[in-house]
Every structure is written in C-alpha cells, then in structure tokens.
C-alpha cells in the first residue's frame, strides 16, 4: 500500500496550513437557489467532499454581480444577504477537515440575457462564438465598478470565513476576456498592450488588497493557453503569471481554454498537455505555489504530475464528483472500491440543461 508521502505533506500559504496537496477545484453544481443562495443540498455536497481527505476545497464559481451570473443556479456574493449562507458553508467545510476557499467570477460575454435578465457586458462588443449574445462594451467607469465588485466579493468571502479566495481569470470569463486579444479590442488604457490588458486584473488585486490587507491568500486561476486563433498563448501567460504575483497573487491555478475552444481543450487534456502547461507556468513563477489540473483520476497520477512538473498542488475534479471518497479509499488501501470517473461528460452537460443540477452517471447519490 502506497502512502503517497509527497501528496500528503502539508503546505503553508501565507500562514494558512493546507493539510495536504489535494485540491477540489471550483465546480459549479447548480445546487444553489435561483437567487444564488447557499442551500442545504449545496452544504451536504461540499461536506461530503471535505470530509474525505481533500486539503483545499474551493467552492465553485460564485458571481460577484448579477450581470456576471455564469450558470442558472450558481452561488452569488454581490450582497451582504449572502453572508449567512456562505458562512455556514465555509464552517461545514472547515469542520469536515478541509480548508475552505471560494472562486469569484464574472461571466462577461460568456452568459446570456436569459440568465442574467440583462445584456451581457464585455471589454469589447464581440459575441462569444458559443453563447452568441451580443455584449455591450463596458465604459471605463463601469469597469471600475466591476473591479470594486470583485474586491467587495473578496471582502465578503473573508468576512464569511473563507480561508482564501480564487479569482477566476480562466476559461474565457471576464478577467480572461480583458487579458486576451481574442476578446479585448479596446483602444483605451484597458486594451492593446499586455500591460493594458492586464490592468483590469491588477486593479482588482490592488482594490482587493486595500480591503483585506496583505496577509489574506489569493489564488488566481488562468488559462495558460486559450487554444484560439489570436488568443493567449503560453508565452503570453508566462508573462502574465509573474505580473499577477508581483501585484498580490499568492497561488496560480493553471487551467486552459475558453468556452469556444472546449473541444480542443478536451483533446489536449487527454494528452496530459495541461500538466505540462502547469509546469511551464511554474517555471515563470518559481517562488509561487502552482496548482495543476486535468484528468488526474488517481493519487498515483497526482503524485507523478506533482513531481514531474515541479508543482505544489494537484486539483482533482471529475474523479471526486464520481467518488468523493477517492482519497480516503486510496490511503486506506481500498483502491479497488473506488468508483471511477468514466469521462462521459454528464456532469458538465447537466449544468446547461434548463434548471438542471449537476448529475453524474456513476454517482447516483447526486
């Protein structure tokens, strides 16, 4: 029986001790209420994940503004009325033995007026090839308001007891939209050069630090490659990652792709390319912990990726949706009892069907 010694080592991030290197990455479940409140079902779901040996549990994309809603039933944090539910959720995760965090997001153009009740907003009036809703270009004053909304979201997360937050700068959502020439064609100081395209993200960081101080850990998730013609490539993101770190990010979580590149993204993931992307980003921020992700279905692979790519943390999503007890079963030498993810795509597909909640073909408990 393997002890997975390197995976089981604790890691300190700005004074927050993660008991091991396994992360449940942000996962929208559509288990929130239609107003974005935490529900009993959502709490029970995260409790099951957190009590089974995951070191860091990141609550899925939580909207920092109504216009930024990503899914029909995702959590929200754009008002103090959400504090009570979130605070219960974070306590349950903590009591279950994991460190609670939350991902904060704004969908930008990757949403629809049907979901948010208003026209989507974006850096430039270019529709996402998948969502197709024509977005309205944000004015500089409106951009400043969204920056404030992100910072307020972080302040509320801290107040509600999240040990850290993750800014969603990946997968083609608003922060990513500003970073990328694929979606940002602005000619003012928020567009053009990489420095200008990064301004939105860096302003969010500065405004956030002004509210929560310098010692609150901030993760930023990025898409290391967009896999789109004219989009961000690894050489761009190897410049962006150090900029984020210099301006207050403590952990970089490396994913890839945007909504429009989904098929390609899945294809690349099959080849383990995501792991190499994480290793390449790690080289650009050698002093900063990096999270790798992508089709890591068992702890032996997790350990292999950690060691081969030199990264500190490993995120496991679908394999934990399929079997939340994956880690405990592996550690107890009961690997033969693990219910394996069959990568059928039902979990993701179920989210976009009308009013549908996350399902899994092999986990009937959901």
Q: For ligand FMN, which residue of 186, 207, 318, 329 counts as binding (CB under 6 A)?
A: 318
Helix (H, G, I), strand (E, B) or coil at 118: coil
Cβ closest to ligand FMN, residue 72 vs residue 186: 72
Q: How many residues bind ligand FMN (CB under 6 A)?
A: 24
Give 232 or 316: the residue with its C-beta nearer to ligand FMN.
Answer: 316
> d(Cα 292, Cα 365) in Å, to the nearest integer?
28
Q: CB neighbours of 29 closer than 8 A, spacing ≥ 6?
A: 42, 45, 60, 351, 357, 358
Q: Is 20 in the site for ligand FMN (CB under 6 A)?
A: no
Choices 76-84, 180-188, 209-217, 293-301; region in contact with ligand FMN by CB under 6 A: 293-301
Centre a 10 Å sphere on the Cβ of residue 254 and count the other Cβ atoms it contains: 29
By beta-carbon proximity to ligand FMN, the closer residue of 199 and 318 is 318
Instruction: Measure CA 242 to chain center.
Output: 19
Q: Check binding of 294 to ligand FMN (CB under 6 A).
A: yes
Q: Does 295 bind ligand FMN (CB under 6 A)?
A: yes
Residue 216 catalytic? no
**Which residue of 76, 156, 171, 282 would you call a contact of ligand FMN, by CB under 6 A?**
171
Q: What's the rounded Cα separation, in Å, for the pair 322 and 277? A: 25
> In this chain, which of 20, 27, 116, 261 binds ligand FMN, going by CB under 6 A?
27
Would the CA dihedral through 317, 322, 328, 332 be positive or negative? negative
DSSP string covering 128-192, please?
Answer: -TTT-PPPEEPPHHHHHHHHHHHHHHHHHHHHHT-SEEEEEE-BTSHHHHHH-TTT----STTSS
Neighbours of 365 (CB within 10 A): 10
Tokens of 44: 């029970």
Residues 148-167 vs ligand FMN: string with x where CB under 6 A? --------------------
**Judged by CB, which is closer to ligand FMN: 60, or 123?**
60
Q: Which two tokens stand for residue 41?
A: 């079902």
Per CB under 6 A, the list member of 316, 322, 338, 366 interacting with ligand FMN is 316
Give residues 204-223 in contact with ligand FMN (rule: CB under 6 A).
221
CB nearer to ligand FMN: pick between 171 and 197: 171
Footprint of ligand FMN (CB under 6 A): 25-28, 60-61, 103, 168, 170-171, 221, 255, 293-296, 316-319, 347-348, 351, 358
């Amino acid at each position: 029986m393997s002890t997975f010694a390197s995976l089981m080592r604790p890691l300190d991030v700005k004074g927050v001790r993660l008991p091991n290197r396994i992360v449940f990455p942000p996962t929208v479940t559509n288990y929130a209420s239609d107003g974005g409140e935490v529900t009993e079902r959502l709490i029970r779901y995260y409790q099951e994940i957190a009590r089974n040996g995951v070191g860091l549990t990141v609550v899925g994309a939580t909207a920092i503004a109504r216009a930024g809603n990503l899914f029909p039933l995702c959590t929200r944090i754009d008002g103090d009325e959400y504090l009570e539910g979130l605070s219960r959720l974070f306590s349950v995760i903590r009591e279950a033995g994991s460190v609670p965090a939350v991902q904060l997001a704004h969908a930008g153009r990757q949403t629809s007026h049907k979901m948010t009740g208003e026209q989507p907003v974006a850096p430039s009036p270019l529709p996402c090839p998948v969502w197709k809703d024509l977005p309205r270009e944000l004015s500089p004053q409106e951009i400043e308001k969204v920056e404030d909304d992100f910072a307020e979201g972080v302040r509320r997360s801290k107040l509600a007891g999240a040990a850290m937050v993750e800014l969603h700068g990946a997968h083609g959502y608003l922060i990513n939209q500003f970073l990328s020439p694929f979606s940002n064609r602005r000619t003012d100081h928020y567009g053009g050069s990489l420095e200008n395209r990064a301004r939105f993200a860096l302003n969010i960081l500065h405004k956030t630090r002004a509210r929560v101080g310098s010692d609150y850990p901030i993760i930023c998730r990025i898409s290391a490659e967009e896999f789109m013609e004219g989009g961000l490539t690894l050489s761009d993101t190897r410049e962006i990652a150090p900029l984020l770190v210099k301006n207050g990010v403590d952990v970089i979580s490396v994913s890839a792709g945007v909504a429009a590149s989904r098929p390609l993204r899945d294809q690349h993931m099959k080849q383990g390319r995501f792991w190499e992307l994480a290793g390449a980003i790690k080289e650009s921020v050698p002093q900063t912990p990096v999270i790798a992700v992508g089709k890591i279905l068992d702890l032996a692979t997790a350990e292999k990726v950690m060691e081969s790519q030199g990264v500190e943390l490993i995120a496991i999503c679908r394999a934990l949706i399929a079997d939340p007890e994956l880690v405990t079963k592996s550690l107890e030498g009961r690997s033969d009892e693990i219910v394996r993810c069959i990568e059928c795509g039902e979990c993701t597909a179920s989210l976009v069907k009308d009013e549908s909640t996350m399902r899994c073909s092999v986990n009937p408990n959901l």
